């Protein structure tokens, strides 16, 4: 089927060319009041066109194998073969059509006569082949560059994700280490929680994106794990619209944000540290807000640490300028991280 499609277009093209030349010469005969030339003209012009079609694969091969200077020899070989094939095919078809023998004239003069047109035709075919090959090569170069850029972006994104997991793991192990000699039961509970948490993370390790609902379940497990360490405790409140829960987000997108809230906010909270996650769909965008009632920012200009820098880099590699990450001070205390990215399911 594929071969038929590849042969179909050239066959239609050369048939159309043959019919156009036939109509030109036949109408010229009618204009000169020459009757009965229909079949003769039809055979002449169609054999002239179809013999070019037969020779075209050889022209294509020669054009792609040899440079411009060698095409002079190619043009001479083409016109000799074209004229010979026309003479032979017409000598065969004219008697079959009841037109008698075909008189092509003195071949010594016929070859140079046909060459005057065939050289122009050959040059047009060579120019078309060169143009087509250059265009296809340029398009392939663009596709290769685009594919390479995509693979590079995916590699950078994967590198960022791999950076995040050891960072989280080391911080959690340090938290467990800090309570190990003070409260063995609490350390044991934290290790069990860490094991469950890592098991869930490993199931999503190959996923580029997961649903926000899955992400929120992971973050709830993380907060439950951290509760064992903190004396005042942590309260997590999630307010996510049903539509928002269906949106796709990078795995562990919110974990560094919540980790920052716990690390920097717990010392300033008079009671339990309250962390709130609010998610909603705003037309074609997903809006996420993570706020806490902790001590807030300690500098006039908020700076992104390793965790938030990682989050921002992942969003940029996935969505470019379509994603937003902002850090703000809340009044009278606390911080809020605002994340906005394209809504997708």
Q: Are 186 and 253 in the same domain?
A: yes
Q: Are 89 and 215 in the same domain?
A: no
Name the DSSP class of 335. Answer: E
CATH classification at residue 324? 3.30.565.10
Helix axis angle, 306-319 to 107-180, nearest 10°:
160
Q: Are 268 and 206 in the same domain?
A: yes
Both tokens of 30, joined, read 């009618």
**119 domain residue, yes or no:** no
Give the per-residue pLDDT at 160: 47
Q: Are strands 234-240 and 248-249 parallel, antiparallel or unpaired?
A: unpaired
Q: Are 43 and 165 in the same domain?
A: no
Name the strand (E) or helix (H) holding 319. Answer: helix 306-319
Give the three-class secondary structure for 239: strand
Give the per-residue pLDDT at 153: 53
Give the per-residue pLDDT at 164: 46
Q: Are 160 and 18 in the same domain?
A: no
Both tokens of 244, joined, read 């928002």
Give the per-residue pLDDT at 256: 83
Q: Are 305 and 169 in the same domain?
A: yes
Q: Are 302 and 182 in the same domain?
A: yes
Within 10 A of 320 (CB to CB), how many other CB atoms are there? 10
Contact in structure between 74 and 62 (CB atoms under 8 Å): yes
Name the DSSP class of 210. Answer: E
Give the per-residue pLDDT at 155: 54
Q: Number of folded domains in the chain? A: 2
Domain boundary among 104, 135, 163: 104
Domain boundaries, position 213 = 148-342
The C-alpha atoms of residue 214 and residue 295 are separated, in whole angstroms, by 29
Which residues contact residue 266 at a Cβ distance below 8 angstroms, ignoring those fewer than 6 apart? 230, 232, 234, 273, 294
Cross-strand partners of 285: 282, 342
Distances (CA, A) of 87 to 52, 90, 244, 320: 13, 5, 76, 66
Burial 232-242 (b: 16+ CB within 10 A, else e): eebebeeebee
Within 10 A of 179 (CB to CB), how many other CB atoms are there? 17
Give CB contacts under 8 A, 24+ apart, made by 310-315.
310/160, 310/163, 310/164, 310/167, 310/256, 311/253, 311/256, 311/257, 311/339, 313/156, 313/160, 314/157, 314/160, 314/161, 314/250, 314/253, 315/250, 315/253, 315/339, 315/341
The C-alpha atoms of residue 296 and residue 162 are separated, in whole angstroms, by 29
Specify the residue for token string 């705003």.
282
Contact in structure between 256 and 164 (CB atoms under 8 Å): yes
Give the per-residue pLDDT at 149: 66
Q: Are 185 and 331 in the same domain?
A: yes
Q: Are 233 and 84 in the same domain?
A: no
Burial level of 44, CB count in 10 A (0-12/13-18/19+)?
A: buried
**129 domain residue, yes or no:** no
Give the per-residue pLDDT at 5: 61
The C-alpha atoms of residue 326 and residue 4 are separated, in whole angstroms, by 58
Specify the residue for token string 């409260």.
183
The C-alpha atoms of residue 290 and residue 41 are separated, in whole angstroms, by 83
Q: Are 186 and 305 in the same domain?
A: yes
Give the per-residue pLDDT at 167: 58
Both tokens of 100, joined, read 């008698």
Which residues contact residue 17 at a Cβ distance below 8 angstroms, ignoring those fewer than 6 apart? 49
The C-alpha atoms of residue 44 and residue 46 are separated, in whole angstroms, by 6
Q: What does each of the 345 residues of the chain score in pLDDT, given as a tens digit?
A: 555 466 678 888 888 999 999 999 999 989 999 888 999 999 999 999 999 999 999 999 999 998 888 889 999 999 999 999 999 999 999 999 899 999 898 999 999 999 999 999 999 999 999 999 999 988 988 887 777 666 555 555 455 454 445 556 666 777 777 777 777 777 777 777 777 777 777 676 667 788 999 889 888 888 887 776 665 678 889 999 999 999 998 888 888 888 888 877 666 556 678 889 999 998 899 999 998 887 777 665 456 676 788 788 878 878 888 888 888 888 777 888 999 999 988
Number of residues that this document lists for the chain:
345
Contact in structure between 42 and 14 (CB atoms under 8 Å): no
177: left (phi over 0), alpha (psi -120 to 50) or beta: alpha
**167 domain residue, yes or no:** yes
């Amino acid at each position: 089927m594929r071969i038929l499609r590849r042969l179909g277009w050239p066959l239609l093209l050369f048939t159309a060319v043959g019919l156009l030349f036939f109509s030109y010469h036949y109408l010229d005969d009618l204009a000169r009041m020459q009757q009965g030339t229909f079949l003769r003209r039809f055979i002449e012009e169609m054999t002239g066109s179809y013999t070019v079609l037969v020779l075209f694969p050889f022209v294509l091969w020669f054009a792609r194998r040899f440079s411009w200077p060698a095409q002079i020899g190619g043009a001479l070989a083409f016109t000799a073969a074209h004229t010979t094939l026309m003479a032979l095919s017409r000598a065969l078809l004219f008697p079959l059509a009841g037109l008698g023998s075909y008189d092509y004239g003195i071949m010594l003069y016929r070859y140079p006569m046909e060459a005057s047109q065939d050289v122009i035709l050959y040059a047009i075919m060579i120019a078309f082949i060169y143009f087509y090959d250059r265009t296809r090569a340029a398009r392939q170069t663009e596709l290769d560059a685009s594919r390479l850029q995509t693979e590079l972006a995916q590699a950078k994104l994967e590198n960022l994700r791999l950076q995040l997991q050891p960072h989280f793991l080391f911080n959690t192990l340090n938290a467990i280490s800090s309570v190990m000699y003070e409260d063995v039961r609490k350390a044991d509970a934290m290790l069990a929680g860490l094991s469950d948490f890592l098991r869930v993370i490993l199931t999503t390790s190959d996923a580029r994106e997961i649903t926000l609902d899955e992400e929120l379940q992971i973050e709830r497990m993380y907060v439950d794990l951290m509760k064992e360490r903190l004396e005042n405790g942590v309260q997590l409140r999630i307010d996510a619209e049903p539509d928002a829960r269906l949106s796709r987000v990078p795995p562990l997108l919110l974990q560094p944000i919540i980790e920052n809230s716990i690390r920097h906010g717990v010392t300033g909270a008079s009671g339990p540290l309250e962390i709130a996650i609010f998610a909603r769909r705003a037309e074609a965008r997903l809006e996420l807000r993570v706020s806490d009632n902790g001590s807030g920012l300690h500098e006039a200009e908020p700076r992104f640490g390793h965790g938030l820098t990682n989050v921002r880099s992942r969003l940029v590699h996935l969505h470019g300028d379509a994603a937003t990450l902002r850090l703000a001070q809340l009044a009278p205390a606390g911080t809020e991280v605002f994340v906005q990215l394209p809504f997708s399911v």
